[in-house]
Structure 1
Amino acid sequence: MNYIIDTIVAISTPPGHGGIGVIRISGISVPEIIPKLLGKILEPRKAEYLPFLDTDGFILEKVIALFFPEPHSFTGENILEIHGHGGQMILDLLLERILKTSSDIRIAHPGEFTKRAFLNNKIDLIQAEAIADIIDASSYQAAKSASNTLQGAFSRKIHIISKNLTNLRTHIEASIDFSEEATNILPYNNIEKKLKNIINDMQQVYESTCYGILLREGIKIVIAGNPNAGKSSLFNILIGINRAIVSTISGTTRDTLHESIQLDGVTYHVTDTAGLQKNSSNEIERIGIKRTWNELNNADHILWVIDSNDDSNKKYNITLECVEKTLSVKNKKKIPITIIRNKSDLTKEQIGISKINNYTCITLSALFDHGTDLLRKHLNTHIKSKQQKNYPYSLTENQGNFIARRRHLNALKKTSKYLLSAQNQLLSVMTINELFAEDLRLAHNELSKIFGNFTSEDLLEKIFSTFCVGK
């Protein structure tokens, strides 16, 4: 355990009025300040209802107190939790009294309790971040997945890869250092196979991490298409309020509009955009079109809306050609596209879902809210198909899902880069050498950064500064 001299204290419940307020104290001074505050020594892990005393021995408040001695506590240090009434004034009085008990006690920095748990090896960095993600979760799926991460779902996946990589590196280092001895040296084919398995496992974890980021950040749905196709009508129907102005005048929407919704426990960030057209003479409209392309480039899923009553869109082939010509150059990330054939109320087309080439096409009427339920089901199905791909054996209760962050994704990218470089070395030279071993070492270092190993203090400060003060 890393012993830190100063003891920290903070109000752990959010500001405002409530039935209960909690103050948390952690550090080496906790045992000596307990009698000063509560008039007695507490039995570990036993809740007691006691008077909270001021400096003159008068009762400030009646509280429930809990003492967790080191190392069996959240931070790994001595912890005292005080549960009192939730008024801000009384909590501030209790906090002020605690700070006067010892010169070693100070107000905690944001996330410092969790940071100490990490530094004392009670949790790894992935689990530490999951605590903040549980607090910030905006949907059921995100909260459940963050809880899985806190229980170690993500960590276990990375630990398995790290263990296999350690095992491989051990054999590689031995083959280099003791090349003249045949003992414990793996054949070339075995090394190639082990490395290939690690790379395959990395790819699966990478895809799972991408899905975990979607759960944490929400899925960005961008509604786009030509002017007057009914994009704003569809936007209003999906979000459930008349947020966007709807008009028969072409080019009504000039700016992007953003709203968030939840479908089946998943957060979707829905964006309405200005209609795309090639030659606009209006400066404001051109700015809107530019912003539309920016939104499309950052989308997780595109709803391409067309006016099915427009003569140029009567045939599916023309529609697909239009979509492909418009988006193929820009859509380098292969963002999923769903075609929305809107205004079926005018064309009298049958509402439904069809598959045209590689596109899903949904015929609906946004004006009368006919067929939009099919769109919602389609979006849920699309997400579940991603889930099925990443977690084929644990779809039911979301048991395999975990929350992930961009930091994790970047570390996995760098790890994969070095692993692929090692594989190229192995295939081109057909022998084990120092360059191959170095690539494996660099890959291992990058992977270890996910847990917080080899992580700079600046990065740790940045991560924990996003937490609330009492966490």
Structure 2
Amino acid sequence: MIDTSPIAAIATAPGRGGIGVVRASGKSLAALAAVLFPGQELKARHAHYVPFTQADGTVIDEGLALWFKAPHSYTGEDVLELQGHGGPVVLQMLLTRVLEAGAELGLRLAEPGEFTRRAYLNDKLDLAQAEAVADLIDASTEAAAKSASQSLSGAFSRTIHDLVEQVINLRMLVEATLDFPEEEIDFLEKSNARGQLSGIVEQLERVFAQASQGALLREGLNVVLVGQPNVGKSSLLNALAGNDVAIVTPIAGTTRDKVTETIQIEGIPLNIIDTAGIRALTDEVDVVERIGIERTWGEVGKADVILHLLDADQGPTRADDAIVAAFPDGVPVIRVWNKIDLSGHKPAVDPAADATHIYLSAHEKIGIDLLRQELLRIAGWQQTGESLYLARERHLIALRNARKHLDVAGQHAAQNDQSLDLFAEELRLAQTQLSSITGEFTPDDLLGVIFSRFCIGK
């Protein structure tokens, strides 16, 4: 049972700021506005400069009150926004006053994401657009922000709706034939059903390619730097980041805990994680460094890409072989031969069966671009020139499942008209998968998970 009682929350980020917003939403909030601003009628979609007062008339703050009458609001309900100064104490006092004034209406504190959830439930946004709100807020790169804005404007949803319409039209043809079998003569040929199906699959593949690239913009890659002490991990982190974010000294064990820096390469966010140098756990290794080494292996287990740094001047050692033997299966590895300024090697990329080998100097910043390009290659990034959709994993899963059902439908279509009922069923299942992206077929428990990840006030 969905709780439709009016809600209120602070809609701006925690902390101090020039402006802070308290937002309320509900099916009928005129009574709340009347209590907060007695004797004053708020005109819809106009900014009113007013004092915000306690019940006894004491002034809390002064600012702007904006009234949005349903359905012309973000949530589709009546919305009242109070914009004052952004001090946390002032905003909390104002929120408390709003909740107190709306107590008889059942006004309560909003849950995370509840304003956007109501916008979805009231058909102001579909589910993909609602998720794009959170993605736009969380965007870590300019490219990610642009893609999230695209999805919020409905570009991704329109593409999915177009695919769904094509599937529905083909379903209508197939199911009409099933209803009137006596009139069926070579249905698949006359209706060009196979051609229509092929066109849908081609469009789905294009959408999946754009969504996959968008998902990369959203999630980025976790890149973990691993190697023995003093091979130059921190220097490489600094070179990639363009800043001295990690302490670099010739003393073994300088890095005791992970240092994480998010960088961008062609708009792709990369979370570069510098870890403690790995060496045998002898008596020389103190407790703090021992914990750091254990945490290093914990980060390796979560890595999308492993950068294994080696000293090009000294060459590989048994300790390096032991590190390689402990790497998890299935994770791409780049062997970075550092310190070529000392070894005499030239900057180069050497693809090999076990891993790609890159020769560079982190200290002299030679060959760093070769590493950047290899990271983009592993990420699967391609500059297509097309608009990207900041897709989530559930979107990609739905697109993959829809493609599987369309593939099975194609197999039934190859059997001519003998399996039309199975052909129609696979089309229906593909439609359901595609429609789940925009929320037309989405269970309530999934909605709860999605919106619980929003910030309060949004």
For the 8 Å contact 1:171–1:186, the answer to whether it is kept is no
Q: How many residues align?
A: 441
Q: Deviations over 1:63-119 (max 9, x none)?
A: 211111111111111111111122233323322222233322221111111011000
User: Where do residues 357-372 of structure 1 align in structure 2 (5 Å cutoff)?
Assistant: 362-372=358-368
Q: Percent identity?
A: 41
Please report how far the alpha carbon of residue 184 of structure 1 lies from its aligned counterpart in structure 2 after TM superposition.
12
SS of 1:82's partner is: strand
RMSD: 3.8
SS of 1:241's partner is: coil
CA distance in 2 between partners of 1:328 and 1:423 (Å): 41
Please report how far the alpha carbon of residue 186 of structure 1 lies from its aligned counterpart in structure 2 after TM superposition.
5.1
User: Where do residues 23-42 of structure 1 align in structure 2 (5 Å cutoff)?
Assistant: 23-38=22-37, 39-42=39-42
User: Where do residues 148-187 of structure 1 align in structure 2 (5 Å cutoff)?
Assistant: 148-182=150-184, 187=189
User: Where do residues 221-300 of structure 1 align in structure 2 (5 Å cutoff)?
Assistant: 221-223=223-225, 230-231=232-233, 233-239=235-241, 240-241=243-244, 243=246, 258-272=260-274, 294-295=301-302, 298-299=303-304
1:386 aligns with 2:381: yes
Give the 3 Å change call, closer, same or farther, for CA 354–189 of structure 1 in structure 2.
farther
1:468 aligns with 2:455: yes
Question: Which residue number corresponds to residue 318 of structure 1?
Answer: none
Give the 3 Å change call, closer, same or farther, for CA 326–157 of structure 1 in structure 2.
farther
1:433 aligns with 2:388: no
CA distance in 2 between partners of 1:198 and 1:244 (Å): 54
SS of 2:89's partner is: helix
Please report how far the alpha carbon of residue 460 of structure 1 lies from its aligned counterpart in structure 2 after TM superposition.
0.9
For the 8 Å contact 2:231–2:310, the answer to whether it is kept is yes
Please report how far the alpha carbon of residue 443 of structure 1 lies from its aligned counterpart in structure 2 after TM superposition.
1.5
Question: Which residue number corresponds to residue 459 of structure 1?
Answer: 446
Question: Which residue number corresponds to residue 123 of structure 2?
Answer: 121
Give the 3 Å change call, closer, same or farther, for CA 288–21 of structure 1 in structure 2.
closer
For the 8 Å contact 1:17–1:87, the answer to whether it is kept is yes
CA distance in 2 between partners of 1:88 and 1:198 (Å): 52
Give the 3 Å change call, closer, same or farther, for CA 137–383 of structure 1 in structure 2.
farther
Give the 3 Å change call, closer, same or farther, for CA 13–339 of structure 1 in structure 2.
same
CA distance in 2 between partners of 1:22 and 1:383 (Å): 43
**Aligned equivalent of 1:195, options 197, 204, 227:** 197
Please report how far the alpha carbon of residue 22 of structure 1 lies from its aligned counterpart in structure 2 after TM superposition.
0.9
Please report how far the alpha carbon of residue 229 of structure 1 lies from its aligned counterpart in structure 2 after TM superposition.
5.6
Please report how far the alpha carbon of residue 49 of structure 1 lies from its aligned counterpart in structure 2 after TM superposition.
0.9
Please report how far the alpha carbon of residue 126 of structure 1 lies from its aligned counterpart in structure 2 after TM superposition.
0.8
CA distance in 2 between partners of 1:60 and 1:275 (Å): 55
Q: Deviations over 1:282-338 (max 9, x none)?
A: 79799789657634xx41x4545454445679xxxxxxxx9xx9899934x7x4x65
Counterpart amino acid of 1:76?
G
Give the 3 Å change call, closer, same or farther, for CA 310–54 of structure 1 in structure 2.
closer
Question: Which residue number corresponds to residue 338 of structure 2?
Answer: 342
User: Where do residues 308-347 of structure 1 align in structure 2 (5 Å cutoff)?
Assistant: 308-309=312-313, 330-331=329-330, 335=332, 340-347=336-343
Greater shift after overlay, 255-264 or 94-103? 255-264
Counterpart amino acid of 2:99?
L
1:220 aligns with 2:222: yes
For the 8 Å contact 2:22–2:95, the answer to whether it is kept is yes
Question: Which residue number corresponds to residue 319 of structure 1?
Answer: none
For the 8 Å contact 1:206–1:409, the answer to whether it is kept is yes
Gaps of 5+ in 1: 314-321, 395-399
Please report how far the alpha carbon of residue 123 of structure 1 lies from its aligned counterpart in structure 2 after TM superposition.
0.5
SS of 2:171's partner is: helix
Question: Which residue number corresponds to residue 416 of structure 1?
Answer: 403
Greater shift after overlay, 138-147 or 425-434? 425-434
Counterpart amino acid of 2:402?
T
For the 8 Å contact 1:11–1:24, the answer to whether it is kept is yes
Please report how far the alpha carbon of residue 409 of structure 1 lies from its aligned counterpart in structure 2 after TM superposition.
1.7
CA distance in 2 between partners of 1:87 and 1:116 (Å): 28
Question: Which residue number corresponds to residue 147 of structure 1?
Answer: 149
Please report how far the alpha carbon of residue 144 of structure 1 lies from its aligned counterpart in structure 2 after TM superposition.
1.9
Gaps of 5+ in 2: 284-289
CA distance in 2 between partners of 1:94 and 1:44 (Å): 21
For the 8 Å contact 2:141–2:267, the answer to whether it is kept is yes
Question: Which residue number corresponds to residue 9 of structure 1?
Answer: 8
Q: Deviations over 1:387-416 (max 9, x none)?
A: 42xxx343xxxxx12211112122222222
Q: Deviations over 1:337-393 (max 9, x none)?
A: 655343222232333x456579876432124333324434x25864997242xxx34
Give the 3 Å change call, closer, same or farther, for CA 190–224 of structure 1 in structure 2.
farther
Give the 3 Å change call, closer, same or farther, for CA 291–174 of structure 1 in structure 2.
same
For the 8 Å contact 1:36–1:53, the answer to whether it is kept is no
For the 8 Å contact 1:140–1:266, the answer to whether it is kept is no
SS of 2:86's partner is: coil
Give the 3 Å change call, closer, same or farther, for CA 439–375 of structure 1 in structure 2.
same
For the 8 Å contact 2:188–2:413, the answer to whether it is kept is no
For the 8 Å contact 1:260–1:269, the answer to whether it is kept is yes
